[in-house]
Amino acid sequence: MPATDTSHATISIGAATSLVANEVLRAAERAAVASGTRLEALAGLIARSDRVFVTGAGRSGLALQMTAMRLMHLGLQVHVVGETTAPAIRENDLLLTASGSGTTESIVRTAAKAASVGARVGAITTAATSPLADIADVCVVVPAVQKLDRSAVESDQYAGSLFEQVVVILGDGLFHWLWRRQGPSADELWLRHANLE
């Protein structure tokens, strides 16, 4: 019978949930403090762009799709890269990316292509010095571990979970900031969501 790791077996579900919530709160607050002006600059890019495209691999991509939906509620033209209905990116568009390492080949390649046609690039990453950060017009750095870091210094969670969770929080923070500045009511936003249901 194979041996099993019981080092974390005694933690309760309540303690596990509290650990995750506390890690996310600390990391999101640190990111907001460290990258406050960059977050405002990213919000400005979102507001000024003709269209917003989002891309990320795996769970980071799913996190950005949540942001895409919220930006659609603001009335922005938003597309997920790779969807069959997504048009070609062009000048005055924004590509919003998320990559913990900043080295994910498909994300870096997409960012480089977007920049080559005059689109702006926003990046959320843990790596301030990375190929993605080098391409980005605005780079927001999240104090979280990358997938292969098992040191448990920044997070006890598995495989980059903290980064992906903070991407969701930052996306909702960007949405909330833009929403409060634009001024539509929650009822007006809901009409954009409920139209096809």
Residue 91: give the domain boundaries: 17-188
What was the pLDDT predicted at 194? 58
- Would the pLDDT of 124 be above 60? yes
Read off the CATH number of the domain in which 78 is found.
3.40.50.10490
β 94-98/138-141 pair status: unpaired
- The pLDDT-based confidence of 143 (bands split at 50, 70, 90) is confident
β 120-125/138-141 pair status: parallel
β 78-80/94-98 pair status: unpaired
Q: Within a domain: residue 193?
A: no
User: Which tens digits make up the pLDDT trace of 14-41?
Assistant: 999 999 999 999 888 888 888 889 999 9
Structural domains counted in the chain: 1
How many secondary structure helices (H) and strands (E) does the chain include? Answer: 7, 5
Spatial separation of the C-alpha atoms in residues 136 and 139, rounded to whole Å: 6
Q: Within a domain: residue 10?
A: no
Which residues are catalytically annotated?
A: 164
CA distances from 62 to 13, 102, 167, 174, 180 (A): 25, 17, 10, 17, 25
Q: Output the pTM of the full model.
A: 0.86
Neighbouring CB atoms inside 10 A of 139's CB total 24
Q: Within a domain: residue 102?
A: yes
What was the pLDDT predicted at 9? 63
Q: Within a domain: residue 174?
A: yes
Q: Within a domain: residue 5?
A: no
Structure-model confidence comparison of residues 52 and 73, the more confident one: 52
User: Which tens digits make up the pLDDT trace of 106-122?
Assistant: 999 999 999 999 999 99
Structure-model confidence comparison of residues 32 and 148, the more confident one: 32
Q: Within a domain: residue 96?
A: yes
Q: Within a domain: residue 197?
A: no
Alpha-carbon torsion, ordered 25, 30, 33, 35, to 10 deg: -110
What was the pLDDT predicted at 145? 59
Q: Within a domain: residue 2?
A: no
Structure-model confidence comparison of residues 160 and 165, the more confident one: 165
